[in-house]
A and B are shown apart, each in its own frame.
Chain A
Amino acid sequence: MFVYEKKLQYPIKIANPNPKLAQIIITQFGGPDGELGASMRYLSQRFAMPWGELKGLLTDIGTEELSHIEMVCTIVYQLTRNLSIDEIKKQGFDKYFVDHTTGLYPIAASGDPWSAATFQSKGDVICDLTEDLAAEQKARVTYDNILRLSDDPDVSDAIKFLRAREVVHFQRFGEGLEFATEQLNSKNFYACNPSFDKNCGK
């Protein structure tokens, strides 16, 4: 089960609305390398992990990603507060507004709704952890690109925090992959799948 804490992992206080920027940042809610996909990926993959160390790592990082969804949504929410219809039209927010008003809906910057097709849960330790390493890098690059596009210091401050977390998670997943290979046959890591084959790695 999960227990909610009524606070953000990193406090966010955005002074000025900017619906144009919100439409870029929402991609980290519902885009291909966003936090929703990240969380669902790790919280789904963890069930096939054969060792407690990796079940723990995926549970913990998957849970942290839930708090990042909340942070990204908070940024979008605060950037779209108190908008006039004039501002909505001028800043190109009308296409989002017509379907969602200023509610939060998981889409990519392109407008495509979030899809589980953006991740895999393969039931194989090496495969899943390798995907996780790539996923953290893809999210890191997205945050780098957001920082190139953002001219609001309040927004960039929170985005820099989220970017740094991708780097830390990448590091932890690398250590997790190393741990996994240490449990397997050093002559052939792929000889069997410890998530499926009985007596694999024993």
Chain B
Amino acid sequence: MNRSELTQKLAAADFALWDLHLYLDTHPDDLAAIGQYNNYFKQSRRLREEYESTCGKLTAAKAQGVEWLKSPWPWEKGGCDG
């Protein structure tokens, strides 16, 4: 998977996960949605690992010291986003 595909795939999985999360705020007993949520959760976790090893860590807590500063920022060219 190239960087652009990886970015798109992670964004898509995280988006599905987030949208289901919002849905569950108002439908907390929907078991089918909880099942879907769990599937996307696994998918997102897998893609996240791959993304972070290629594009740099997503959160400051995971990036030690200056590693956080080295990867490009999401609005810039040259990053996995741009």
Contact = CB atoms under 8 A, between A and B. Distances in A.
Interface in B66-82: 68, 71, 73-75, 80-82
Interface of A is mostly: helix
A70 to B, nearest CB: 7
B32 interface: no
A176 B26 contact: yes
Contact of A53 (B25, B61, B68): B25
A187 B22 CA distance: 30
B3 to A, nearest CB: 11
Given A11-B7, A11-B8, A168-B19, A3 B61 contact: yes
Interface size class of B (residues with CB under 8 A): 20 to 34
Interface residues of A, number: 28
Interface string B38-82: 000000000000000000111111000000100101110000111
A5 to B, nearest CB: 5
B11 interface: yes
A6 B56 contact: yes
A56 B18 CA distance: 13
A134 B14 CA distance: 27
A13 B60 CA distance: 24
19 contacts: A3-B60, A4-B59, A4-B60, A6-B56, A7-B10, A7-B58, A9-B14, A11-B7, A11-B81, A60-B22, A60-B25, A61-B22, A70-B75, A78-B75, A78-B82, A168-B22, A172-B22, A176-B25, A179-B26
